[in-house]
């Protein structure tokens, strides 16, 4: 089933055109990885999907429902946008956990506000601690973010995003801020989510990971999608010169 359609998204910051004409779509249960060099607009694209930036032009549809259409101003009010955000989740490169809450409370906060439940609510606690256990953090629920390693913090952030049951979970370089020995544990839980058919868009520089976890790989350069398709085709046999250059530069480092 078609879950997301992105049509002709454009975004400028002042005079720099960061996203030029982005269109892609994905099905429910798919994993799409976005690769591309620094400054190509990957983060901006994810931020547009999560309405942290408002695209200048274009259409975003989830399950056939038009969430955003630059030609229809009524899709842009603040409260409307807040509701639409709930279709998407976002895991940040820098985790952005709430420092004054424990791991479990970080996961419970947004659902507790939305469902008007207290932190003591049995059902909410159960649900949230199950998510943390799934992330391998069953022992760490009572810890505050500063007591956790980067990899553990990122896994809490993933659980926190999952707690709102988004249709599509987005990751912006989830392991870039981590020491190499910690990236594995985060990639492992993302793999597990993929196995459970969680719909995900992952911006990453981990090529081996992208190749075996994703159904589709998108290569972006300078605000456009240069090439997209089966991960093995894109990563092992890229058609476009720009993709080849990017991949060989990456493997040299």
Partner 1 sequence: MLSTVTLTLLKGFLGTLRLFSETLLFALPLGLIISFGSMHKLKILRLPVRFLIWIIRGTPLMLQLLVIYYGPGIILGNNVWGSGETGRFIAALCAFVLNYACYFSEIFRGGIQSIPVGQYEAGQVLGMTKGQIFFKVILLQVIKRIVPPISNEVITLVKDTSLARVIAVYEIIWEGQSFIKSAGIIWPLFYTGIFYLLFSGLLTLFFGFIEKKLSYFR
CA atoms within 13 A on the CB side of 201: 29
Residue 50: CB minimum distance to partner 1, A:
5
Single residue of 30, 33, 40, 106 touching ligand ATP by CB under 6 A: 40
Decide which of partner 1, ligand ATP, Mg ion, none touches 86; Cβ closer than 5 to 8 Å per partner kind: partner 1
| Chain centroid offset of residue 100 CA | 24
Between 166 and 231, name the residue whose CB sits nearer to partner 1. Answer: 166
The residue behind tokens 């249960």 is: 29
> Which residues have a Cβ under 8 Å from the Cβ of 126 and sit 6 or more positions away?
none
Residue 83: CB minimum distance to partner 1, A:
7
251 binds ligand ATP (CB under 6 A): no
* Calpha distance 171→54 (Å, rounded): 19
- Write the binding mask 41 to 80 for ligand ATP: x where contact by CB under 6 A, - elsewhere: xxxx------------------------------------
SS3 label, residue 206:
coil
* Calpha distance 206→220 (Å, rounded): 15
> Which residues have a Cβ under 8 Å from the Cβ of 244 and sit 6 or more positions away?
238
Residue 246: CB minimum distance to partner 1, A:
28
Residues that bind Mg ion (CB under 5 A): 43
Residues that bind ligand ATP (CB under 6 A): 13, 16, 18, 36, 38-44
């Amino acid at each position: 089933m078609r879950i997301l359609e992105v049509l002709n998204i454009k975004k400028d910051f002042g005079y720099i055109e960061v996203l030029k004409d982005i269109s892609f779509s994905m099905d429910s249960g798919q994993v799409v990885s976005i690769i591309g060099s620094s400054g190509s607009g990957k983060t901006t694209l994810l931020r547009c999907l999560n309405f942290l930036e408002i695209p200048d032009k274009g259409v975003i549809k989830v399950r056939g429902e038009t969430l955003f259409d630059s030609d229809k101003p009524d899709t842009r009010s603040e409260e409307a946008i807040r509701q639409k955000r709930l279709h998407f989740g976002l895991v940040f490169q820098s985790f952005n956990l709430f420092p004054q809450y424990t791991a479990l409370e970080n996961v419970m906060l947004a659902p507790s506000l939305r469902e008007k439940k207290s932190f003591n609510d049995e059902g909410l606690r159960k649900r949230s601690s199950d998510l943390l256990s799934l992330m391998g953090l069953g022992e760490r629920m009572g810890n505050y973010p500063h007591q956790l390693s980067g990899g553990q913090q990122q896994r809490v952030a993933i659980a926190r995003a999952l707690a709102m049951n988004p249709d599509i979970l987005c990751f912006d370089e989830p392991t870039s801020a981590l020491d190499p020995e910690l990236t594995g544990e985060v990639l492992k839980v993302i793999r597990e989510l993929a196995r459970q058919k969680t719909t995900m868009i992952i911006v990453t520089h981990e090529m081996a990971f992208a190749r075996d976890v994703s159904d589709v790989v998108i290569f972006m350069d300078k605000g456009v999608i240069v090439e997209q398709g089966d991960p093995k085709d894109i990563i092992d046999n890229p058609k476009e010169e720009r993709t080849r250059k990017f991949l060989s530069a990456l493997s040299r480092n």
